[in-house]
């Protein structure tokens, strides 16, 4: 380079980059960019993240710094960049430095990411050396979290340690200009993991043998395994397919017979099953998909997206009986892509759409270890498509809905976990145990809160064991030794029992709905001392007065809350035990509203006569009746009153169907009202109006829509009143009821009209899957430092 007098003076900047910046191709990216801009300096990894020094003309350095964030590799998540100016050294060459000691590394682990376009192109390029290799990956894609045994994220610390790199892979791994530079899971057919198909023990082996007759003898190895799996699926069999975060149970989603077999073996009568289609056009045959939904479907996290189902599609009705939605996901591993495409030398067509459901029994955790899977799944499947890359961390598929163009998480797991959520203030090292259903836990330290993957419902011993194992894994991975454990105040929760009996740490108890509100505050970055008007609407949560809460309006900060309004208590015979029977919630609400159980009402007809008289006696004498202010139960009650749902086989089913009935309604909507007296919100008049409309033959869709609008207006009017009383202009919406996209939309519109700021969930689920984040924030705020307290004692 020649020095020109007019050239701008050289500057040298020292940068420190934190976030998910290791193991994601960040150093080669920096190297390429610096070389392209003819800048000097170096880049390297250390315990804090990535450090860079860059030198050259000021405008070029500025351009470099801008692109460092804007053009970062797809898997990178830049949290912060700190820049200091230092003296120029006259350096013109740019180098990648060896990693510095990372003995105290607390770096971030990237979530697993769907196979990228570049790798896919190679996968189907007959000239590529990884043609049809089911484990192709690069720094921009592939497994991460699920193969990480410990940090730092280097190959010997992953389950890839068993596979020694061949020369060709090693060359790519060590070449800074290569897309696979330091891609820890890099592999090829010569040195990496392999797949295998084998038939299960059963009479149906013959069917596969029959179907395999169309496959040429010359088809071997991977292709033969894929062809055999496709043949088995065509024959209506159920397969166990080992994936990224565990085993899936897979069958043909267009076949009633195959799904019936799967459902009866899995003991899952009608809970919806997710399906996988090849691509967005393939998914469009099954469901209505807008641009935002298509973006989420095909994005790097590849969650299951809940979509509105087409009335006419090749999908079997049994995939989601009576449900207007269907959960769709697209292939995210190379193995999935191979499964959906024709095998060379094989005439039979590949599958069009497959059921892909977690490999487990009913609500137990997903199977991920080979031995355990063979033991627990062998009764459920006819054949196995497996591989020999061990899964270290089990991780279910994530589930999202799309609201106003944004993701509304329903289950945050693969593709998202364990990305940290940034806390608005410092936390002592702690672990928050989460809730009882849809459990996730949260490990926090400093400003980071790591939410775990989906653990499951804590009812079974298997889930409890998975919970304990995962807590240990997380704490070990991030080297956080919790000083405090946080649990829900419910005395019956397994998580509280674990906190008090197993964890050997001071325990902080947190009220359920306060945790919901705090969760949505954290992810929206509400500062430490600010308060919000929080609507925590869910099915059930323990109230300090022993009642079941769930229709709560709280004025809350992180440290404390005041209950400013709630649904009036209704005695619920049997309490939580009746959540599978929405008609009982309806009968309880009718009773409380003073509405006669006359024979023309649908919940009365849905209840067996004996049960009716038992219930009447229970209510008259107050036997085993738990007072409840649950909004979830009110949705159940209205759902039953309108005939949408009287009994359910999975949580929130009645509310989901009520939302659907409302959402599909066009035309005039009746105007219903809640009445608020002091701090009690009364639904009696509203229920009476619905009953009258029902008797006048009003369309269920109109009444359901009217009910949704009434809840949205209730939120707006209550928020407005509390704004006058408190001066707070921010409204937080959380709790499982806000999985209802129609309700969120209506409430947002009403509140925006009143110029109030609305906080809704985008990062963690509004349901109990997001609870742990709120618990962590509340405990961190209440106990700034446990160490200090020890000294005071
Ligand atoms: Zn790739
Ligand atoms: Zn290789
Ligand atoms: Zn809840």
CA of 730 to the centre of ligand 3 (A): 21
CA of 771 to the centre of ligand 1 (A): 34
- Per-residue tokens: 254: 């267009």
Omega of the bond prior to 367 within 30 degrees of 0, cis? no
CA of 140 to the centre of ligand 1 (A): 5
CB 411 within 8 A of CB 398: yes
CA of 329 to the centre of ligand 2 (A): 30
CA of 117 to the centre of ligand 1 (A): 7
Q: Please name which of 161, 127, 193 lies closest in space to residue 333, comparing C-alpha atoms.
A: 193
CA of 133 to the centre of ligand 1 (A): 13
CA of 129 to the centre of ligand 2 (A): 9
Beta strands at 532-542 and 730-734: parallel, antiparallel or unpaired = parallel
Task: Specify the pTM.
Answer: 0.90
CA of 82 to the centre of ligand 1 (A): 29
Q: Which residues, chain by chain, have CB under 5 Å from ion ligand 3?
A: 538, 541, 768
CA of 749 to the centre of ligand 3 (A): 24
CB 419 within 8 A of CB 112: no
Which ligand approaches the C-alpha of residue 172 most closely?
A: 2
Which ligand approaches the C-alpha of residue 517 most closely?
A: 3
CA distance readout (Å), 431 to 293, 439, 442, 455, 497: 34, 13, 6, 15, 14
Angle at alpha carbon of residue 126, lines to 125 and 130, rounded to 5°? 75
Which ligand approaches the C-alpha of residue 186 most closely?
A: 2
CB 336 within 8 A of CB 276: yes
* Residues lower than pLDDT 70 in the chain: 1-7, 99-107, 202-208, 210-211, 213-214, 216, 218, 785-793
CA of 73 to the centre of ligand 1 (A): 11
Which ligand approaches the C-alpha of residue 136 most closely?
A: 1
Which ligand approaches the C-alpha of residue 631 most closely?
A: 3
Residues found in the chain: 793
Which ligand approaches the C-alpha of residue 160 most closely?
A: 2
The count of other CB atoms within 10 Å of the CB of residue 36 is 12
CA of 167 to the centre of ligand 2 (A): 7
The whole-number pLDDT of residue 256 equals 97
Cα 403 to the center of its chain, rounded Å: 15
- Per-residue tokens: 290: 């807008």
CA of 187 to the centre of ligand 1 (A): 12
CB 463 within 8 A of CB 455: yes
CA of 513 to the centre of ligand 3 (A): 6
CA of 734 to the centre of ligand 3 (A): 9
Which ligand approaches the C-alpha of residue 439 most closely?
A: 3
What digits encode the pLDDT tens for the residues 256-295?
A: 999 999 999 988 888 899 999 999 999 999 999 999 999 9
Which residues are CB-contacts of 423 (< 8 A; sequence separation ≥ 6)? Answer: 444, 446, 447, 448, 449, 522, 776, 777, 780
- CA 79, CA 83: separation in Å to the nearest integer? 14
- Per-residue tokens: 79: 């949290």
| DSSP 8-state assignment for residue 113 | B
Q: Which long-range contacts (CB under 8 A, 24 or more apart) does 290-295 make?
A: 290/402, 292/402, 292/405, 292/406, 293/402
DSSP assignment of 704-754: HHHHHHHHHHHHHHHHHHHHHHH---EEEEESGGGG-HHHHHHHHHHHHHT
CA of 771 to the centre of ligand 3 (A): 7
The whole-number pLDDT of residue 214 equals 66
CA of 540 to the centre of ligand 3 (A): 6
CA of 136 to the centre of ligand 1 (A): 7
What digits encode the pLDDT tens for the residues 417-428?
A: 998 899 999 999
Q: Please name which of 331, 354, 326, 339 lies closest in space to residue 254, comparing C-alpha atoms.
A: 354
- CA 529, CA 425: separation in Å to the nearest integer? 10
Which ligand approaches the C-alpha of residue 129 most closely?
A: 2
Which residues are CB-contacts of 316 (< 8 A; sequence separation ≥ 6)? Answer: 253, 254, 255, 256, 259
Which residues are CB-contacts of 226 (< 8 A; sequence separation ≥ 6)? Answer: 195, 197, 338, 339, 343, 385
The whole-number pLDDT of residue 620 equals 94
Which ligand approaches the C-alpha of residue 192 most closely?
A: 2
Which ligand approaches the C-alpha of residue 169 most closely?
A: 2
CA of 192 to the centre of ligand 2 (A): 6
Which ligand approaches the C-alpha of residue 332 most closely?
A: 1
CA of 640 to the centre of ligand 3 (A): 22
CA of 275 to the centre of ligand 3 (A): 28
CA of 164 to the centre of ligand 2 (A): 8
| DSSP 8-state assignment for residue 201 | S
- CA 313, CA 288: separation in Å to the nearest integer? 11
The whole-number pLDDT of residue 792 equals 40
Which ligand approaches the C-alpha of residue 771 most closely?
A: 3
- CA 528, CA 443: separation in Å to the nearest integer? 19
In 254-369, alpha helices (H): 256-266, 280-284, 291-297, 334-339
Helices and strands per DSSP (H, E), number in the chain: 24, 29
CA atoms within 13 A on the CB side of 632: 26
């Amino acid at each position: 380079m020649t020095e020109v007098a007019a050239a701008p003076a050289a500057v040298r900047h020292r940068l420190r980059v934190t976030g998910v910046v290791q193991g994601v191709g960040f150093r080669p990216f920096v190297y390429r960019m610096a070389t392209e801009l003819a800048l000097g300096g170096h880049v390297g990894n250390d315990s804090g993240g990535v450090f860079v020094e860059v030198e050259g003309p000021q405008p070029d350095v500025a351009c470099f710094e801008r692109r460092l964030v804007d053009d970062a590799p797809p898997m990178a998540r830049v949290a912060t960049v700190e820049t200091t100016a230092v003296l120029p050294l006259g350096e013109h060459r740019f180098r990648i430095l060896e990693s510095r000691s990372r003995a105290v590394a607390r770096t971030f682990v990237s979530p697993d990411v769907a196979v990228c376009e570049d790798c896919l192109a190679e996968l189907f390029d007959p000239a590529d050396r990884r043609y049809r290799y089911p484990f192709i990956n690069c720094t921009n894609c592939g497994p991460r979290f699920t193969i990480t045994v410990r940090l730092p994220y280097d190959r010997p610390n992953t389950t890839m340690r068993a596979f020694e790199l061949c020369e060709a892979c090693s060359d790519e791994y060590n070449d800074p200009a290569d897309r696979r530079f330091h891609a820890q899971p890099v592999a090829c057919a010569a040195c990496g993991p392999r797949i295998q198909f084998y038939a299960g023990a059963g009479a149906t082996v013959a069917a596969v043998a029959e179907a395999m007759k169309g496959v040429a003898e010359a088809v071997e190895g991977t292709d033969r395994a894929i062809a055999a799996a496709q043949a088995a699926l065509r024959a209506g069999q159920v397969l166990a397919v080992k994936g990224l975060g565990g085993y899936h149970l897979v069958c043909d989603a267009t076949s009633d017979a195959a799904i019936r077999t799967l459902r009866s073996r899995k003991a899952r009568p009608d809970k919806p099953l997710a399906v996988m289609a090849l691509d967005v056009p393939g998914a469009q045959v099954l469901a209505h998909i807008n641009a935002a939904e298509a973006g989420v479907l095909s994005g790097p996290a590849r969650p299951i997206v809940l979509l509105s189902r087409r009335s006419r599609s090749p999908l079997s009705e049994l995939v989601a009986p009576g449900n207007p939605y269907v959960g769709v996901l697209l292939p995210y591993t190379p193995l999935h892509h191979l499964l959906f495409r024709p095998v060379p030398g094989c005439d039979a067509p590949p599958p069009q759409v497959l059921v892909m459901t977690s490999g487990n029994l009913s609500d137990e955790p997903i199977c991920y270890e080979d031995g355990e899977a063979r033991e627990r799944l062998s009764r459920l499947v006819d054949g196995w498509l497996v591989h020999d890359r061990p899964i270290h961390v089990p991780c279910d598929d994530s589930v999202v809905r799309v609201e106003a163009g944004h993701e509304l998480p329903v289950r945050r797991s693969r593709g998202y976990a364990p990305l940290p959520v940034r806390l608005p203030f410092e936390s002592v090292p702690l672990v928050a145990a989460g809730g009882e259903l849809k459990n996730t836990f949260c490990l926090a330290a400093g400003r980071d809160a790591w939410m775990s993957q989906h653990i499951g419902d804590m009812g079974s011993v298997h889930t409890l064991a998975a919970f304990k194992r995962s807590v240990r894994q997380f704490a070990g991975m991030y080297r956080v030794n919790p000083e405090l454990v946080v649990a829900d105040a419910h005395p019956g929760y397994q998580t509280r029992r674990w906190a008090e009996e197993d964890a050997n740490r001071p325990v902080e108890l947190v009220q359920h709905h306060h945790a919901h509100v705090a969760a949505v505050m954290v992810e929206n970055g509400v500062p430490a001392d600010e308060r919000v008007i929080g609507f925590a609407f869910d099915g059930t949560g323990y109230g300090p007065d022993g009642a079941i809460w769930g229709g709560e309006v709280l004025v809350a900060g992180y440290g404390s809350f005041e209950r400013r309004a709630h649904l009036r208590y209704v005695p619920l015979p049997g309490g939580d035990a009746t959540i599978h029977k929405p008609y009982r919630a309806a009968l309880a609400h009718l009773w409380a509203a003073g509405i006669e159980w006359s024979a023309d009402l649908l919940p009365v007809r849905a209840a067996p006569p004996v049960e009716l008289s038992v219930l009447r006696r229970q209510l008259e004498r107050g036997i085993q009746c738990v007072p409840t202010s649950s909004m979830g139960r009110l949705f159940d009650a209205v759902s039953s009153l309108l005939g949408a749902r009287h009994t359910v086989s999975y949580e929130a089913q009645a509310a989901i169907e009520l939302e659907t009935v409302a959402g599909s309604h066009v035309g005039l909507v009746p105007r219903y009202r809640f009445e608020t007296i002091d701090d009690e919100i009364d639904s009696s008049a509203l229920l009476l109006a619905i009953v009258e409309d029902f008797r006048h033959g009003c369309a269920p869709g109109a009444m359901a829509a009217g009910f949704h609008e009434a809840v949205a207006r209730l939120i707006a009017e209550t928020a407005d009143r509390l704004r006058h009383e408190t001066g707070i202009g921010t409204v937080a919406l959380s709790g499982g009821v806000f999985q209802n996209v129609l309700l969120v939309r209506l409430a947002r519109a009403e509140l925006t009209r009143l110029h109030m700021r609305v906080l809704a969930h985008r990062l963690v689920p509004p349901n109990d899957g997001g609870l742990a984040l709120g618990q962590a924030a509340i405990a961190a705020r209440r106990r700034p430092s446990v160490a200090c307290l020890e000294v005071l004692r």
